[in-house]
A and B are shown apart, each in its own frame.
Chain A
Amino acid sequence: MSNRVVVTGLGVVSPNGVGVPAFLNAIQNGLSGIKFIPLYRELNLSCQVAGIPPFEWEKLKDYISDVTFYGLKGTNIGYGLMAAMDAWADAGNAYDCDEPRWETGCVFGNSAPDTEAMKNVISRVDNKEAKKLGSRVIEQTMNSGVTSYITGRLGLGNKVVTNSSACATGTQAILMGYEYIKDGYAKRMVTGSCEHVDPYVYGTFDSMRVLSRKFNDRPEQASRPMSASAGGFVPGSGAAALVLEDLDFALQRGAKIYAEVLGGSSNSGGQRGGGSMTAANSAGVVRCIQEAMTNSGITGNDIDLISGHLTATIADRQEIQNWINAIGRSGEGFPLTNSLKSMIGHCLSAAGSIESVASILQIVHQFVHPNVNLEDPNPEITNLISLNSLPTSNINRPINVVAKANFGFGDVNSCLIFSKFTN
Chain B
Amino acid sequence: MTKQEILNELKKVIAPYTTNKEMLAGIDDNTDLIKDLKINSANLVDIIIDAEAKYDIEIDYDSADKMVNVGTCIDVISEKIKEKNEQHG
Contacts and interface: CB of A to CB of B under 8 A. Distances in A.
Interface in B29-69: 40, 42-43, 45-46, 49, 52
Nearest to B41: A135
A95 to B, nearest CB: 15
Contacts of A71: 16, 46
Interface string A114-135: 0000000000000000011011
B8 interface: no
B18 interface: yes
A65 interface: yes
Contacts, number: 26
Contact of B19 (A65, A132, A134, A135): A65
Q: A66, A67, A131: which has the most chain B beta carbons within 10 Å?
A: A67
B16 A135 contact: no
B42 A66 contact: no
A132 B43 CA distance: 13
A70 B17 contact: yes
Interface string A128-150: 00011011100000000000000
Contacts of B43: 67, 135-136
A131 B46 contact: no
A132 B52 CA distance: 9
A135 B40 CA distance: 10
B19 A67 contact: yes
Contacts of A134: 45-46, 49
B18 A136 contact: no
A75 B42 CA distance: 22
**How many of chain A's residues touch chain B, expressed as a range?**
10 to 19
A67 B43 CA distance: 10
A136 B39 CA distance: 13
Contacts of A136: 43, 46
B16 A67 contact: yes
A134 B40 CA distance: 13
Interface string A67-85: 1001100000000000000
Interface in A72-105: none
Contact of B17 (A67, A131, A132): A67
Nearest to B43: A135
B42 A135 contact: yes
B59 to A, nearest CB: 10
A396 B46 CA distance: 55
Contact of A131 (B16, B40, B49): B49
Contacts of B49: 131-132, 134
Q: B18, B19, B46: which has the most chain A beta carbons within 10 Å?
A: B46
Q: A70, A131, A132, A135: which has the most chain B beta carbons within 10 Å?
A: A135
A135 B43 CA distance: 6
A66 B16 contact: yes
A70 to B, nearest CB: 4
B77 to A, nearest CB: 17
Contacts of B40: 67, 135
Contacts of A135: 40, 42-43, 45-46
A135 B42 CA distance: 6
15 contacts: A65-B19, A66-B19, A67-B16, A67-B17, A67-B19, A67-B40, A67-B43, A70-B17, A71-B16, A131-B49, A132-B52, A134-B49, A135-B43, A135-B45, A136-B46
Interface of A: 65-67, 70-71, 131-132, 134-136
Given A67-B19, A134-B49, 19 more contacts: A65-B19, A66-B16, A67-B16, A67-B17, A67-B18, A67-B40, A70-B16, A71-B16, A71-B46, A131-B49, A132-B49, A132-B52, A134-B46, A135-B40, A135-B42, A135-B43, A135-B45, A135-B46, A136-B46
7 closest A-B pairs by beta carbon, nearest first, are: A135-B42, A70-B16, A134-B46, A135-B45, A134-B49, A135-B46, A65-B19
